[in-house]
Amino acid sequence: MLGDGIGPEIVAAAIGVLEAVDARFSLGISCDYEDIGFRSLERFGTTLREEVLEKAKSCDGIVLGPQSHADYPAPEAGGHNVSARFRIGLDLYANVRPARSRPGLPSNMAPGRSMDLIIMREATEGFYPDRNMSRGWAEMMPTPDLALSVRKITRAGSERIARRAFELAATRRPRVTAIHKANSFHITEGLFLEAVRRVATDFPTVVLDDLLIDASAAMLVRAPEQFDVLVTSNLYGDILSDLASELSGGLGLAGSIMTSDRACCAQAQHGSAPSLAGKDVANPTSMILSVAMLLRWIGQQRQSPACVDAANAIDLAIDQCLSRSTTRTRDVRGNLGCRAFAGLVQTAVAG
């Protein structure tokens, strides 16, 4: 699904790389396309048809281009938040967002600092009014001068994102940091933190610590190398992942997947950047890395070493291209366009 703005360009770039690793590793991949966003709105009167969502449930993986949902009409006029509908409809509760610095690529961190972390963001609850109520909307205005918003935190939702975080950390350094604001939100944040600590007892080899959201933002700037896996609720994860990605090199470098226990969707971490659409200047790295993450998830779920090898080949090719200024896009101090950069990555993964 190509999406809006730069979506068609970066998804095409990612699919080109996917086809290259498919040819090299004999993955047997076939792709089907459906309209979402403004294209779907123009053709069908809605940004997301129910049949597309149902069709996605039977696919091995989903590639979802960015959307300009802030510019959509009201939901009653067909302007549905596509990403949110996928998260709720497929129960894609774990938004996995890595951020790491790369040798040879300038970062926005202080000299001598490095980063290699993964933010595990709960994606179906929190302060998001379009996805935390079974009926209705979680924001309201009792009077023209009074606005209210309701946040939902559940024990079940907190425990399952925590479990995914601990499972991931066990394969890494291993350390989990729970990000919260329990000193102010005693009940909701307290429940989240309590759930994380409960899950921690099942992972005695993984170190757990916790940090306030404001302190964690400061520490990401001051000493990002202390973090391994961060687990947090929806809004905090959204904000911190953008901060971490920008610090490590740029938002265009950040891969992202949304997963349930049975489904996975690759989605670039950034938005649709409509001002860049059609100019061949977008950086497709985030979308390409997201597809690599999707392949790795499929490989792990299906016990397919070839899919994991293909994902590793994409990661290596991206690192190779980003290590030199002559093989980067303009946003990371290079001069290549979207198609040219994707072509180099395709050549690199072809072996």
Active site residues: 128, 181, 214, 238, 242
Closest CA to 150 of 160, 168, 166, 137: 137
